[in-house]
Amino acid sequence: MKTVSRLIAFIIITINALHTANAADVQILTQRNISQLVPGGKEVDAIIGDVILRNDIVSVVIAAPSPLRNANLTTRTVGGCIIDLVRNDSQNDQLTCLFINALAHEFHSWEGASVSVDEAAIPAYSKTRGGTLVPGFVPKSGESVSFTVVSNPNDDNTIASITYSLTDGRPFVDVVVSLTNQHKTNVATLNIADSIRADRTFIFGVHDGLYWASDDWFKYAVGILPTGSVPVRGSGNVITYQTSDSSKIKLGPDETVMTHRRVVPADNLLQLKGITAGIQEATTHPVKIQTLDAAGPTSHAKVTIEQGDNLIGTARTDEKGVVAFQAEPGSYSVTVQKIGRTTITQELVIESDVDIDLIQDGCGYVVANITDSKGNPIPCKVSFYGLGETVDPLFGPPHGEVAVGNVHYSINGQFRQEIPSGTYQVLISHGPEYDLITKPITVERGKDTEITGKLIRSVDTSGWISADLHSHASPSGDNVSSQFGRVLSLISEHIEFAPCTEHQRIDTYDAHLARLQAAHLLATCPGMELTGQPLPINHQNTFPLQFKPYRQDGGGPVIDENPITQIVRLAGWDNNAKKLMQGNHPKLMRIYQDGDDDGNSDGGFRAMLDYMDVIEIHPPQSIFQVPAELAPPGDRGNVIFQWMQLLNIGYRIPGVVNSDA
């Protein structure tokens, strides 16, 4: 038995090492290999059944061609698309999805899918005797590997195939789209386009034949470099490709046309521009910039390179204060920005290799040591408000983790935070059960300012816990907030129980609690918010649920357009296991008596109430506002008032107020 186990382990290790020995490999993600192969990053969505291609520089995940393959609540029908894309040396996926061919065709079947190694193609599936397709293939490796998906025919009888390829030593994914008109007589007119989901903190642009999307805060960029056409940023997230004639092509009967683009991941826009310049065979030189102040290297400083009025790119320095990239020869300006320090700009001439130091003046620091009444470490939220002419500090975007906006979240009350010099009012809190500490401070450049205090628990809540039964982070798809940051903020605000309730997927906070060593501070369990139409009545939270890692929706149920069908399905999930069911932000009049919201009584979706253990009734202050008339169609109205009317007619469903953050 030991020999068999060792043999299996050897086979797994050998398969996972293929890309090291042969540089490029293609594999289908399975229960056995996914934990070793899945890329890293806040926006990773790979699941079992997807396909991963890797070489020595890049890893890319192509979503399995299936009608039920969704990345999250708002990123749907992703079969055959790029859902994860990283450089192997950084493992930092921030891309939600790149829809090659802009959803013009749907990839809902493995029929026609194939893998290729050095141009030798084999099917990516097998068939049973009954003709059923079974996805799967033996891992392949070689100098060049490819994965091809074929679409279902459209109404105009056109089909699309997309081939994704990685080649040894190349820092990009080759993408070839073949469009075929299968009609025997009609001419088809098709757009040449892609679309991208890269949200909130991203900026976008087109320059010298390159379409780019960049998020300098989370250190990620992606570029699309077409051949034979020029990218044009269209409306929304659509990228059109302009040929000499137009962005449309006409296909005669039985005609096929092929388009080609290279998709390039990078750690920042400067690196991306350098890589694509190399792809286009332009002359480049290595540039290394280190940012420092009197205390030494400065990490996460923003470095911006411009040429006249043209933005070349931005990047954030690493923990050693370094940004390194390739750049074309020329005269540029370089600007360094870092919180609490004076912004500096100087000329940068690139004629050969560049290695320079850029030195800013120092900043101020606050050094915190916050404890409980007995002097023990305690999680806390510390907010800084500028006094007089001092403005509120901006530590980072609202989607971050530890330092967010003007707030620092601390797991133990001890931290050192950069801050501009000035005068501030500091608010130190740990939820409403602890007395708030307020104190003014003055911060001087180059010096530490100490913040101390004891958080006193003055509200006796014996027999009660503080809970938030409804919150979200990036996996939900309607925001890009760090889930780790969400957990840290819940603990800092003294939430004692919080189920994980991401939209449209079962998920868990366990890994974040382990990283924080804080499982004793926050009770939790897997759960979800099943988010269907019509809004706002067909949203339900439930927990606990069985979390199935790397499965579609974490093993959760699918939505239904009938709210009663959906809530019954959710209540019965996991073999009718006991769970709490919560109606989220409802319009209760619509549930109780007016299902189509036309102002006429039709019985509504009243059966939903039989499955609700609790109902959200925020905002609570509206309890003092008695409505003079019913809310018009489309308006939720006074939810807490409507809930009290439910109590009056015998529905004993507790009301709750959550953050829905």
pLDDT at 313: 96
Region 467-484: what's the mean pLDDT? 94
CA-to-CA distance for 573 and 479, rounded, in angstroms?
27
Q: Is the confidence at residue 7, as pLDDT, over 90?
A: no
The helix or strand, by DSSP H or E, that contains position 407, with its residue range, turns out to be strand 407-410
> What pLDDT was estimated at residue 628?
84
Residues 504 and 552 in one domain: yes
Q: Which tens digits make up the pLDDT trace of 363-420? A: 999 999 999 999 999 999 999 999 999 999 999 998 889 999 999 999 999 999 999 9
Q: The CATH number of the domain where 307 resides is what?
A: 2.60.40.10
How many CA within 13 A on the CB side of residue 563?
27
Q: Does 377 share its domain with 346?
A: no
Same domain (yes/no): 537, 614: yes
| pLDDT at residue 15 greater than cutoff 90 | no
Residue 646 included in any domain: yes
User: Given a cut of 90, is residue 6 above it in pLDDT?
Assistant: no
Q: What three-state secondary structure class fits 197? A: strand
Mean pLDDT of the chain: 93
Does the structure show a pLDDT above 70 at 5?
no
DSSP string, 302-333: EEEEEETTEEEEEEE--TTSEEEEEE-SEEEE
Find the mean pLDDT for residues 483-497.
Answer: 97
The answer to whether position 371 is within a domain reads yes
Residue 294: inside a domain? yes
Clarify whether residues 408 and 433 are in a common domain: yes
Smallest Cα–Cα separation from 523: which of 535, 513, 538, 511?
A: 513
**pLDDT attached to residue 234:** 66
Question: For the segment 48-70, what is each residue's pLDDT rounded down to a tens digit?
Answer: 999 999 999 999 999 999 999 99
Share of the chain above pLDDT 90, in %: 83
In the listed set 341, 359, 377, which residue is the last one of a domain according to the structure? 359
> Would the pLDDT of 10 be above 60?
no
Alpha carbons within 13 angstroms on the beta-carbon side of residue 106 total 13
Q: 369 and 355 in one domain?
A: no
292 and 193 in a common domain = no
Domain membership of residue 403 (yes or no) is yes
Residue 466: inside a domain? no
Both 216 and 293 in a single domain?
A: no
Identify whether 463 is part of a domain: no
Q: Which of 427, 455, 483 lies at the terminal end of a domain, its last residue?
A: 455
Distance between CA 497 and CA 520 in Å, rounded?
11
Q: What is the mean pLDDT of residues 164-182?
A: 96
**pLDDT over 50 at 12, yes or no:** no
* In a shared domain, residues 511 and 407: no
Please return the burial class of 176, using the count of CB atoms within 10 Å of its CB with bins 0-12, 13-18 and 19+: middle
H or E element that contains 286: strand 285-293
CATH of the domain at 516: 3.20.20
* pLDDT given at position 409: 98
Confidence label for 249 from pLDDT (cuts 50, 70 and 90): confident
- Percentage of the chain exceeding pLDDT 70: 96
Domain that holds residue 382: 364-455
Distance CA 241, CA 209 (A): 10
In a domain, 595, yes or no: yes
Which of 455, 488, 523 is the last residue in one of the domains?
455
Q: What pLDDT, on a 0 to 100 scale, did the predictor assign at position 120?
A: 84
Residue 164's pLDDT is what?
A: 98
The region of weakest confidence among 8-22, 204-218, 237-251, 401-415 is 8-22
Whichever domain contains 395, its CATH number is 2.60.40.1120
| 221 & 301 share domain | no
| Token pair belonging to 424 | 């501030």
Q: In what order do the strands lie in the sheet with 539-543?
A: 528-531, 539-543, 580-583, 614-616, 655-656
CATH number of the domain residue 64 falls in: 2.70.98
- Could you tell me which residue, 230 or 20, shows the higher pLDDT? 230
Residue whose tokens read 């989370």: 218
**What is the pLDDT confidence band of residue 245, given thresholds at 50, 70 and 90?**
low
Q: Is 467 within the bounds of a domain? A: no
Write the pLDDT tens digit of every residue in 24-41: 999 999 999 999 999 999
SS3 586: coil
- At residue 9 the predicted structure's pLDDT band, cuts being 50, 70 and 90, is very low
For 349-365, write each residue's pLDDT tens digit: 999 999 999 999 999 99
Q: Are residues 435 and 380 in the same domain?
A: yes
Total domains in the fold of the chain: 4
b/e 129-163 (16+ beta carbons within 10 angstroms → b): eeeeeebebebbbbebbbbbbbbeebeeebbbbbb
Same domain as 175, residue 76: yes
Residue pair 277/234 in contact (Cβ under 8 Å)? The answer is: no
95-119: pLDDT as tens digits: 999 999 999 999 999 999 999 998 8
182 and 80 in a common domain: yes
Among the residues of 555-624, which ranges form H helices?
563-571, 573-576, 588-592
Alpha helices per DSSP H over 165-280: 269-279
